[in-house]
Amino acid sequence: IFDLCVAGKGPMQIAKILTADKVLTTKAHYAKQKGKVLPENPYSWNESTIVGVLERMDYCGHTVNFKSYSKSHKLKKRIPTTKEQQAIFRNTHEAIVEEAVFERVQELRTHKRRPTKAERQGMFSGLVFCADCGSKLHFATCKSFNGSQDHYRCARYKSNTGDCTAHFIREETLQQIIRQRIFAVTALFFDDITSFMDLIRRQRYDEAEKEMKRKQREVGQAKKRIAELDRIFKRIYEDDINGTISHERFLKLSAEYEAEQRELTEKVNAEQREVDTYEQDKSDFDSFAAVIRKYVGITELTPTIVNEFVKKIVVHAPEKIDGKRFQKVDIVFNFVGEIHFPTESQTETKDTEKQEKTA
């Protein structure tokens, strides 16, 4: 189920595939294990079951408690809790889904991929974004198109409204760019893994490390100030009880200190999350290396390969230089972000303005 999702399939599509392949549903599988009577339709999967499977962190080897609650012990109805209210106990049992795969599936599910009327789905649907307005580039096709005419254009592009330009790019052009970039990354990795690691570290970690050290200092200072405010609040409370200061003065000071403490606490939580994310990212090189080794020797792209390698594609507006059309495309890889090669430049595309209008 997770592999099908990484391959670009939605919950309904996955349910249809499992039903067609006569895979037992979760309920039927449980009944078979326990020697009970199978349901009437043991192979009938539905969309909600697939969604429940894809969102279940337990498959990563973790235990999640407090998923729901009841308003009263007299009521049977359970109300789902928010993720913040749940308690996660990590590594409590053997994982059957890698955490990196689980996280990638959650990312992919935030970008809905709906099949077109032509019954074709873009290989990069949900991954392509406009460099100028940040909107998604929608996949465009129709039954009268052949594969070479399928393209992406900015969701905010509307002719003559000035919202944004089309940022038009053909899917076959994008496939060529992504394939070349993945091959280049793979070649560099196997030619000299040390140089590859140095390149990643220089581009991603050096500046980030300085920033994280600054944030770590700020977190430490903020925590000290929070502890100091607790002591100050205790002193002014005692002064209020003893009559050393007026109650009005106490209320004013306590409100100011509580506001400062609340602001500092929010800042600490936000910056601590960034620090934790950075520490996690430093170990992500091994995960990216595992993806490269998994697909050594590939010659063509598939949705699964694209989704395992690529996190985001940013398409810039095209430029005309000496009568030729050039278009910059930024590729953000999973785990390691953008990788800039020393000779990297804008990509020449063969699409002309006339073709943009007719396609």
**254 in the same domain as 315:** no
Asked if 111 and 126 count as a contact pair (C-beta separation under 8 A), the reply is yes
Sheet containing strand 319-321, edge to edge, reads 319-321, 324-327, 347-349
Structural domain tally of the chain?
3
Report the sign of the C-alpha dihedral through residues 26, 29, 33, 38, in that order: positive
CA angle (195, 201, 205) in 5-degree steps: 175
Asked if 199 and 188 count as a contact pair (C-beta separation under 8 A), the reply is yes
Any domain includes 155: yes
**236 in the same domain as 137:** no
What's the pLDDT at 33?
Answer: 92
DSSP letter at 23 equals: P
**212 in the same domain as 301:** no
pTM, entire model: 0.65
**230 in the same domain as 92:** no
**86 in the same domain as 55:** yes
What's the pLDDT at 3?
Answer: 92
Asked if 112 and 8 count as a contact pair (C-beta separation under 8 A), the reply is no
**166 in the same domain as 52:** no
- Give residue-wise pLDDT tens across range 236-268: 888 888 888 888 888 888 888 888 888 888 887
What's the pLDDT at 210?
Answer: 67
Residues in the chain, how many? 359
Q: Which residues of the chain have pLDDT under 70?
A: 113-119, 142-147, 158-162, 204-211, 274-283, 341-359
Q: Show Cβ contacts of residue 335 under 8 Å, excluding neighbours closer than 6 positions.
A: 100, 281, 284, 285, 287, 288, 291
- What is the C-alpha to C-alpha distance for residues 305 and 294, in angstroms, rounded to an integer? 10
Any domain includes 119: no
Q: Is 325 helix (H, G, I), strand (E, B) or coil?
A: strand
Helices (H) and strands (E) in the chain, counts: 12, 14
**97 in the same domain as 55:** yes
CA 193 centroid distance within chain: 26
Instruction: Supply the range of the domain harboring residue 241.
Output: 204-287
What's the pLDDT at 357?
Answer: 39
Any domain includes 278: yes
- What is the C-alpha to C-alpha distance for residues 336 and 283, in angstroms, rounded to an integer? 10
